[in-house]
Structure 1
């Protein structure tokens, strides 16, 4: 089987790439995905369709390497057409303009906020705002729950945060937004609007687009410095003039490494022939860590992720923390005294810690070694302590305090607000992933040190090979990474459709 372009990975970015590239009727596109495909809405499993909460029923089953407390935290990554956009919490946030201006400042031309804004606008159909910041005719519908749709916890969280001194924010995707308000979400009538049911659904009829689900790629085939196709784990060769890796922050670097593109030292240890020595493959992993203040409450129906607060350490600065209300979730009486629990979840949005993704062996069946490095940098832990103290302050503000029906579950009453060491210990013992890994095939100008691809996603040293997913982000946006990942795919697809050299 052959195509002009093979897109490896049918996740958030892959569906966008396949849809945009196949708009050119003269370009044959093959989208390859390891997981299953559900071509119609009627075939979607209930948990994939339901946007009220994330799901992990279609997952790779990854865990982080053991931390200092011997914890191996789960790192959910979706394994189906649509990827994590088909299983996530549907937070449709962009981040701050400074995030993208920083990418440009690092030498990545074409990635300033002014230059990526048209692609953010192109991807969305914002149902609440129509101005210079928002798109109105893109594939992904975005809306915010009005007050009459908020469950009691979510509404009280907004009011309590305002009572605690946070500004009310009507639109978190407007530049400069710092404060609390409804969360922009890519949901329509309770349905999770993934890139599979938006971008790809509109492209499935095209005769120049083929979709291969249930096909795992072992490596990229490279001859004389140029890509010639991809090899599946069954040994099948799929030929192409161009290959775009969109297997995600954990998947793209390990496919590159199995193909001989990576650190020569590490590849040699695994008896993998070195094609291109790129030391940064799999390095510079950045993920947003989260931890919650958990509280007992009464059960309530409705979506469980409707409100969010963004915080900055300086007045007028860029956000570095998220606080959002999660819940309520039903639990047994032994956990929640009134039958339910909610959390005020703190997410560190500007972490300084960096980890890595590396091959465990040359066998595609072996999961990679993933070091998420949560809170390894002391500044990260300090900000998470600050966030926990602030989450507690909001929880004790009215009207939210009235909905707390018993004793704080975590960190718990034994941990005082002014005991930063005890809070830090609690945070370290409970930290989890916000599920936003980036950076393992980062874009940059120095392939000998810290870059895998150039500013247009082209892999250094291999003609015809690009990466176009969250792994190319050189730093992590101060936002959930679903919309930024779609934007990256849109940006690279636009370059691929021009006369941009391969």
Structure 2
């Protein structure tokens, strides 16, 4: 154990100040006699007026404050935000929940408490929906949710909406209502052009509490264990945060890396790193899931004014689907002033990747292998997704905006085998990675945490972020991540 003095001594240490971490810090500090420390590797911007413009604007994803991660096999960028607010401070602000079948599926895997009916109150607790007031939507949560009206749509998004309807997509007014499949306005957490991140909503309401401390620019190394119980967190600079309970919310790449450096994970991998095994959990770092995406791109015939990028979303059900199944494919049209695209995304991928460590250095990048489109079923679905995107782009309203043929790696390719090869080279990560600390009933078959988020084999240690998702939802993962933190915060607090 380090001889460094404790920089903080608290009841609960939350490691990771991203989307989940901001929710946890805010909820766990609601009781004034409970002390909470939020530990984040990136910078903090407590003054909203000092927020960098790309983090403030909800019109598009931000590229700054990135961890600089890459896929080890392909070299492709794996974007993850390094800032208080995490990816909620940099994402495209699409606020989809996922299908009810997604969460019912989690419960069916042996995770009681996670059915859609049981997590719906958590989704409602997150939001103040500015468009809908009914049993499906919240009215008193910290995150405002709205949808762009027809008069707010950019020229490309308006044309894409018409083209998708012409292509046969049913019109949907509320994509967060169970059973919604079709085209409609995307629910977003952007209001007045400003991104309503977890830092700008949840954490802002809690910042002034004297029982909450925020340690920014503080990279976590490992969890401190004494006789099988978590007692705090060691930072990369050797400082110590002592805590009665430790909650990892460092994300799909960060949480398993911290567990591995702690000696929690596959015994063989730990031995290779020279670490004693404190809890043999084969699932740590395994089960990595991600939505694979392709952008079918066309040049614009004339330059158009810039504007909000992600305004509408379209979904398709799988062939032979049954009522209640989630989307199989998703399209999100978008544009810059000189080009536009229709994305194609496989929403229930079968391919799995992995996160490992190359070194015990907490400042070193983890070894990430995504394996996008590794399974033939995913590749076949993506072929259909690209055909559908092309079909939409060729419809009148969008075709009239195009200044030429497709311009991407698979442009003009029709042969299925050649197209499949192009897709393998052009596929990108949708920034929805999850699953590397999966929850489930049996640690020897890959579960890392139980249904309450408790790490198997260690007391007073939880994981509460997207890494515990056993199966990726059929939607963007921002709202499901907030939901996980909401769902587990009460259970962690009840461990007093």
TM-score by length of 2: 0.96
Paired with 2:313 and 2:299, the residues of 1 have a C-alpha distance of: 20
Give the Cα separation in 1 of the matches to 2:226 and 2:350: 38
Q: What's the counterpart of residue 245 of structure 2?
A: 242
- In the alignment, structure 2 segments of 5+ residues that lack a partner are 1-7
SS in 2 for 1:3: strand
Tell whether 2:91 aligns with 1:88: yes
Q: Does structure 1 residue 449 correspond to structure 2 residue 457?
A: no
Q: CA deviation at 1:347?
A: 1.2
Cα distance in 1 between the residues matched to 2:410 and 2:39: 47
Q: How does 1:117-266 map to 2 (within 5 A)?
A: 117-266=120-269
* SS of residue matched to 1:138: coil
Q: Is the 8 A contact 1:142 1:184 kept in 2?
A: yes
- Name the counterpart of 1:31: 38
Whole-angstrom CA distance in 2 between matches of 1:184 and 1:207:
34
Q: Output one character per residue of 1:64-114: Cα deviation in whole Å (capped at 9) or x when no partner.
A: 012xxxx31100000000000000000000010000000000000000000
- State the Cα deviation string for residues 340-364 of structure 1 (Å, max 9, x = none): 1111011111000001001111111
Distance in 1, matches of 2:35 and 2:261, equals: 26
**Deviation beyond 4 Å, 4+ runs, structure 1:** none
Q: Report the Cα offset of residue 301 of structure 1.
A: 2.2
Which one of 48, 53, 56 corresponds to residue 41 of structure 1? 48
- Find the counterpart in structure 2 of residue 319 from structure 1: 327
Q: Decide which of 298, 301, 304 is 2:306's aligned counterpart.
A: 301
Give the structure 1 partner of residue 295 of structure 2: 292
Cα deviation digits, residues 216-268 of structure 1 (max 9, x gap): 11100001010110001111111000000000000000000000001110000
Matches within 5 A, 1:405-420: 405-411=403-409, 414-416=412-414, 419-420=415-416
SS at match of 1:301: coil
Q: 1:144, 1:188 → 2: CA distance?
A: 9
Which residue number in structure 2 is paired with residue 382 of structure 1? Answer: 380
- Whether the 8 Å CA contact 1:133–1:174 is kept in 2: the answer is yes
Give the match for residue 368 of structure 1: 366
Q: In the alignment, is the contact (CA less than 8 A) between 2:143 and 2:196 conserved in 1?
A: yes
Unaligned runs of 5+ in 1: 331-339
Q: Is the 8 A contact 2:410 2:423 kept in 1?
A: no
Larger CA deviation: 195-204 vs 403-412: 403-412
Instruction: Give the match for residue 334 of structure 1.
Output: none
2:425 matched residue in structure 1: 429
Contact 2:409 2:426 in 1 (8 A): no
RMSD between aligned residues: 1.0
Partner of 1:349 in structure 2?
347
Contact 2:265 2:280 in 1 (8 A): yes
Match of 1:397 in 2: 395
Cα separation, partners in 2 of 1:413 and 1:285, compared to 1, 3 Å: closer
